Every structure is written in C-alpha cells, then in structure tokens.
C-alpha cells in the first residue's frame, strides 16, 4: 500500500504514520518527492486491508494499493526518476548521460590503468572492470580477485574515475564494497536472492544487470529485493537476453528501455558489448540505446582486444571508443541528453 501524505504534512504527522505501519508489522519506506511525501508499506500482502485505516490519521491524504507486484521499484510509489549518486561527482538518471567503460576483466595494473586514462580522456564517467569473473567454463580465466580490486583502486586514484565492479557472492560483499564505488550484479546472479538481500544492507549503489532469461517483471522483482532490504540506490542495465538468434551473442532487448522507463523510476543503462558480443555492432546499438531513452551505457574497452583474457571479440580499442563518444553526441542531443 502507499500512504500519500498531504502536501503540507508535518514531520510529526509523518512519524506517527511510520510508527503505525511498523506496529501493524509492515516495513515503512519513506519517499520524499518534490511536492509531497509518500510512504510505501510493504510486507504480507494478505493483511494489507488493515493499512487502509491509516487514512484517518492527520496529515494523510489517502491510502492506495500498489497494483504492480514490485512495489518500491514502481512508478506508482515514486513518479520522478531516481537519480543515483556514484562517488562524489557522478549522478545516474539525470539529464547527463553516464558512460561506464573499461576492460571485461582486470588483467594487469598497466592494462587497467591504460584503459582508465584513455576512456577518461574520451569523456567516460565510470571505470568498469571485473576482478571476480563469472565464466561459463571453469577452465577459463576467473579473475584476479582482491589483487584486481587493488589495481582498480589505483586506476581510480590516477584517473579520477569511480569504479564499478562485479560481486559474485555474499561472502565477497564486504571486500568488494571496500574498494568499489558501485557494486555490479552480473546477469547470472540476477536471481541470487541471498546476494540481493545482502546488497540491500550495503551503503554503496548497485548496478543490477538483467538476466539472460529474466522477464522485465522478474527483473524488477530482483531490484525489489535490494530496495526492500534497505538500499534504495539501484541502477538497472539491459545487457541482452537469450533468444533463438545466433548471429549475435545475445539479443539486446532495446524495447525494455521504454517499458522500464514507464513502470519504474530506477535509471536504466544499456550494455551493447554483452548485448551483441561483437565489437562491430557496439557503436550502432549504443546510438540506438540512447535514442530509445537509456540513462547511460556500459562499454568494454581493451588496449589489445586480440590478447584479452575475456570478451576480446566485443571489446573496443581505446581509439574506437573515442570515436564512439564523438559520434554519440548528436544522438544524445536528439534525445535531449547532455554528454
């Protein structure tokens, strides 16, 4: 249920409502909008009719059910798009597009630093790079783990770019959160509910990728796990889904962008690298994503894609990434975004 407070409701009236929600055994989530505060009450669906009685409290305008199965992620609860802060400077979901770029895997200090400085020079806002890698084959490179996180931290220091990197399991969360500015949940972990719950308790923002086989509704239910466990800072990322098509690694579902923009207030980024699996298709799909309303992009960049330990085929050389950033400008302007 959503408890909509009247436009001039006082702080003490809000506190009374919050306390009453807790007393009824529900979890209150305060959402302060430009005009008014709304309070989401989430918990057992069966007894929710009791919440209707809150309508009689002073300062309450009305109590309405949330129709979507995802509650806190829904536009019903929050009409304006959320703006998610990463580090001191980066804001995802506002007018400015946010570009995350970097290697698939952190391989050496030189490699990640070279990419960080090059993508920064071309106008990227975040550095990406995996230290814990979810690989299909157990014989493939699994990542440098904590050493990789240290390399990323040094690249951040030298480039000034905040770092987004993947966390694969709950036991790694504290370590990854210590080094990273934003924690990535990979496509394969999108329904790892114990990891999602754990990420609800961290103070850093979460970059949640869509799964290979998750519907948009299932995807938003995954975001809901993080939100309802206490972390409101979630950014979504469309990275392609599995279909019958084999000409591309995945089918980049660009239609999810307008759908998500309609039903959730969470920012939506797009990863055309994993979405296509081929460096030649990254640029056109990046343009299309921005034209369709994406709030940002995640792009894999490697100084020597032919030598990359993972995802070389879909990685851009730094010079090609620079070209993409230049050519993206008219698309950003046409979509009413700053770059």
Task: Tell me how far apart the alpha carbons of residues 50 and 30 are, in angstroms, rounded to a whole number.
Answer: 19
Cβ distance to Mn ion smaller for residue 165 or 256: 165
Stretch that binds Mn ion, among 9-17, 153-161, 188-196, 308-316 (CB under 5 A): 308-316
Smallest gap from residue 184 Cβ to Mn ion (A): 11
176 near ligand PEP, judged by CB under 6 A = no
Binding mask 266-305 for ligand PEP (x = CB under 6 A): --------x-------------------------------
Stretch that binds ligand PEP, among 183-191, 226-234, 255-263, 285-293 (CB under 6 A): 183-191
249 near ligand PEP, judged by CB under 6 A = no
Burial of 174 (0-12, 13-18, 19+ CB in 10 A): exposed
- The residue count for binding Mn ion (CB under 5 A) is 2
Show Cβ contacts of residue 246 under 8 Å, excluding neighbours closer than 6 positions: none
Paired tokens of 10: 């006082």
Is there a contact between 339 and 97 (Cβ–Cβ < 8 Å)?
yes
Among 3, 104, 227, 290, binds ligand PEP (CB under 6 A): 104
Show Cβ contacts of residue 153 under 8 Å, excluding neighbours closer than 6 positions: 163, 179
Residue 35 three-state SS: coil
Smallest gap from residue 215 Cβ to Mn ion (A): 23
Stretch that binds ligand PEP, among 85-93, 146-154, 180-188, 219-227 (CB under 6 A): 180-188
- Within 13 Å of residue 273, how many CA atoms lie on the same side as its CB? 26
Task: Pick one of ligand PEP, Mn ion, none as the site partner of residue 309 (Cβ within 5 to 8 A by kind).
Answer: none
181 near Mn ion, judged by CB under 5 A = no
Residues between 118 and 137 that touch Mn ion (CB under 5 A): none
Which of these, 129, 84, 73, lies nearest to 269 by C-alpha position? 84
> Residue 321 is inside which H or E element, if any?
helix 318-334
Give the nearest residue (CB) to ligand PEP. Answer: 186
Residue ranges of alpha helices (H) inside 210-264 are: 216-228, 256-263
Which of these, 134, 118, 90, lies nearest to 239 by C-alpha position? 134
Paired tokens of 179: 């080094």
Which of these, 270, 251, 252, 248, lies nearest to 261 by C-alpha position? 270
Smallest gap from residue 206 Cβ to ligand PEP (A): 13
Among 71, 156, 239, 265, binds ligand PEP (CB under 6 A): 239
Binding mask 133-172 for ligand PEP (x = CB under 6 A): -x--------------------------------------
Task: Tell me how far apart the alpha carbons of residues 229 and 302 are, in angstroms, rounded to a whole number.
Answer: 36
Q: Which stretches of the chain bind ligand PEP, using CB under 6 A?
A: 104, 130, 134, 186-188, 209, 239, 274
**Residues forming the site for Mn ion (CB under 5 A):** 104, 311
């Amino acid at each position: 249920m959503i408890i909509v407070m009247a436009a001039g409701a006082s702080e003490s009236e809000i506190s009374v409502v919050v306390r009453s929600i807790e007393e009824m055994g529900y979890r209150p989530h305060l959402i302060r909008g430009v005009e008014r505060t709304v309070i989401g009450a989430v918990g057992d669906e069966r007894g929710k009719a009791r919440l209707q009685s809150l309508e009689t409290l002073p300062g309450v305008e009305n109590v309405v059910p949330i129709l979507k199965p995802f509650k806190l992620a829904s536009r019903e609860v929050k009409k304006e798009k959320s703006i998610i802060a990463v580090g001191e400077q980066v804001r995802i979901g506002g007018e400015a597009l946010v570009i995350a770029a970097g290697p698939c895997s952190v391989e050496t200090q030189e490699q990640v630093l070279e990419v960080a400085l090059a993508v920064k020079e071309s106008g990227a806002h975040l550095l990406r790079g995996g230290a814990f890698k979810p690989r299909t084959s157990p014989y493939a490179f699994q990542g440098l783990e904590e050493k990789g996180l240290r390399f990323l931290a040094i690249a951040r220091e030298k480039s000034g770019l905040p770092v987004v990197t993947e966390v694969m399991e709950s036991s790694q969360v504290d370590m990854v959160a210590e080094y990273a500015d934003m924690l990535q949940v990979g496509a394969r972990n999108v329904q790892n509910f114990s990891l999602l719950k754990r990420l609800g308790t961290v103070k850093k923002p979460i970059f949640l990728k869509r799964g290979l086989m998750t519907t948009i509704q299932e995807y938003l239910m995954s975001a809901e796990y993080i939100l309802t466990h206490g972390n409101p800072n979630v950014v979504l990322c469309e990275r392609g889904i599995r279909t019958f098509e084999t000409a591309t690694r995945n089918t980049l579902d660009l239609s999810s962008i307008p759908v998500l923009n309609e039903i959730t207030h969470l920012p939506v980024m797009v990863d055309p690298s994993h979405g296509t699996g081929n460096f030649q298709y990254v640029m056109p799909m990046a343009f299309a994503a921005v034209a369709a309303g994406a709030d940002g992009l995640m792009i894999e960049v490697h100084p020597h894609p032919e030598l990359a330990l993972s995802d070389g085929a879909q990685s851009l050389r730094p010079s090609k990434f620079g070209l993409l950033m230049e050519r993206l400008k008219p698309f950003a302007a046409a979509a009413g975004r700053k770059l």
